[in-house]
Structure 1
């Protein structure tokens, strides 16, 4: 119990308490000095000696008696001071730990807020572009005046591409480019949105490195495919078939090469049927040889669109 009581006193030690302890130690030390001198002069009273030997004896007595006691009291005072400093250092350490923890929490909150802000900015631009895309798509899908017999721009372009039989994809692409004034603007909008997704999606892996190698090999960011799927969901079968023809190109130097890689990256042909009027069309079937399998996503058989 006494030990526990002493430990408790040490725990409650404060600068004010330390001052009181030191004052008691100083008073006790002064008292001891007074007692020693009193006993000496009571025993050896008389006039002051002029002999060195007498003063040497006096010094030995005083030093031998007081030095151990005063050293012991000094040690106690030193220990008390060390205990108080240790407590203050421990308090400082705990306060620094709390400050560091609070700073980490603040940085974590700010980091999450920054991520949320980046996502909101991205989605704000994305849905604005998506709105422009849908307006452009609606424009080319809406039947026009009497001069076109009530056909839409898509109908006119599909007739030029699929009904006037081309021998290969290159010929079909030439036929499509001749109608560039009708649907070229739409495909350029579609490309720019896909490019925006790949380079600006939060936590994306392409960023400013928008080249063929990065488009093809960079892993998808967590939500990257979700945004491309939202865009893809607005494309009809007809426009998807035209898209497959539109992105045909010869090599990596072609201006449509990156567009093709984006189609493959986001599986934009996954729901594309390979038939026209319920019959398999050779041009559409040949796209399976031109595009990487990734362009068709989870489609198991290139002849019917995926149910996903």
Structure 2
């Protein structure tokens, strides 16, 4: 761009001198002067004519330089912003996957004791979730209300295994909501992607236990998740919903 304007300035100078030579030498028949003062006058003429033009070109070049500098500054600012966002996301990912591991470890030790056929049997891991679902279905077949199922679930969950499963899951959702905020440079799509990741990385039986906790456990975590519109919408997108039991 600078080369372009420099060429234009030289071209203007040649045009001015060329017009002067044609007008006074070829048309008016003036001879080339050997008087020094005549050449001084000629240089004053050329300088007076080209000075404003060259000043204007300098101004244009200055504006162009400022424009290029503003673009470079905007690029650097955007790059720094992206670097900060990427660093925040790396910190978030570390925390997120640590909590996923905690959730998985916690569910590996999940067990529940349920009275069945006049005996109290202990069910572990996936079997425990399936047994609770079977019992809830039996209660529903007998016309039991949510309150009655809640009371029954509180009685069998004396070691708070169901509540702990819900609490850990709720903490992960909170990490996504609080770390990937709009103020930190993220948006709804970023959070939705992580909600989907959480649901995908949560064992399906454990996810069903979370849904049971949301429906039947009366605690702040359950209330918070029920009111979390972003998460509930993602849950529905996956074919799940609160209140399926």
TM-score, normalised on structure 1? Answer: 0.51
Q: Is the 8 A contact 2:104 2:202 kept in 1?
A: no
Tell me the equivalent position of 1:168. Answer: 145
Tell me the equivalent position of 2:69. Answer: 99
Task: Give me the whole-angstrom Cα distance separating, in 2, the residues matched to 1:204 and 1:180.
Answer: 41
1:119 aligns with 2:96: no
1:199 aligns with 2:178: yes
Any unmatched runs of 5+ in structure 1? 1-5, 14-23, 32-69, 208-219, 273-283, 291-308
Distance of aligned partners of 1:136 and 1:268 in 2 relative to their CA distance in 1, 3 Å threshold: farther
User: Residues 123-138 of structure 1: matches in 2 within 5 Å?
Assistant: 123-138=93-108
Distance of aligned partners of 1:172 and 1:150 in 2 relative to their CA distance in 1, 3 Å threshold: closer
Deviation (angstroms), 1:30: 9.2
**How many residues matched?**
204
Task: Give me the whole-angstrom Cα distance separating, in 2, the residues matched to 1:11 and 1:249.
Answer: 90
Q: Is the 8 A contact 1:191 1:259 kept in 2?
A: yes
Distance of aligned partners of 1:204 and 1:188 in 2 relative to their CA distance in 1, 3 Å threshold: farther
Tell me the equivalent position of 1:28. Answer: 37
Task: Give me the whole-angstrom Cα distance separating, in 1, the residues matched to 2:165 and 2:207.
Answer: 12
Deviation (angstroms), 1:191: 0.7
Tell me the equivalent position of 1:266. Answer: 234
Task: Give me the whole-angstrom Cα distance separating, in 2, the residues matched to 1:187 and 1:259.
Answer: 10
**Backbone CA RMSD of aligned residues:** 4.5
Task: Give me the whole-angstrom Cα distance separating, in 1, the residues matched to 2:154 and 2:13.
Answer: 90
Point out the structure with max Rg over C-alpha: 1
Tell me the equivalent position of 1:185. Answer: 164
Distance of aligned partners of 1:236 and 1:174 in 2 relative to their CA distance in 1, 3 Å threshold: farther
Task: Give me the whole-angstrom Cα distance separating, in 2, the residues matched to 1:104 and 1:237.
Answer: 46
Any unmatched runs of 5+ in structure 2? 1-8, 17-32, 114-119
Q: Is the 8 A contact 2:129 2:206 kept in 1?
A: no
Task: Give me the whole-angstrom Cα distance separating, in 2, the residues matched to 1:11 and 1:109.
Answer: 45
Deviation (angstroms), 1:160: 6.1
Task: Give me the whole-angstrom Cα distance separating, in 2, the residues matched to 1:12 and 1:134.
Answer: 82
Tell me the equivalent position of 1:8. Answer: 11
Residues 115-164 of structure 1: per-residue CA shift (max 9 Å, x gap): 22222222222112111111112121699xxxx86631665576567537
User: Residues 130-149 of structure 1: matches in 2 within 5 Å?
Assistant: 130-140=100-110
User: Residues 32-47 of structure 1: matches in 2 within 5 Å?
Assistant: none
Distance of aligned partners of 1:135 and 1:9 in 2 relative to their CA distance in 1, 3 Å threshold: same
Tell me the equivalent position of 1:256. Answer: 222
The correspondence for 1:152, drawn from 115, 121, 124, is 124
Task: Give me the whole-angstrom Cα distance separating, in 2, the residues matched to 1:29 and 1:117.
Answer: 71
Q: Is the 8 A contact 1:240 1:269 kept in 2?
A: no
Deviation (angstroms), 1:74: 5.5
Task: Give me the whole-angstrom Cα distance separating, in 1, the residues matched to 2:237 and 2:196.
Answer: 11
Distance of aligned partners of 1:117 and 1:134 in 2 relative to their CA distance in 1, 3 Å threshold: same
Tell me the equivalent position of 2:21. Answer: none
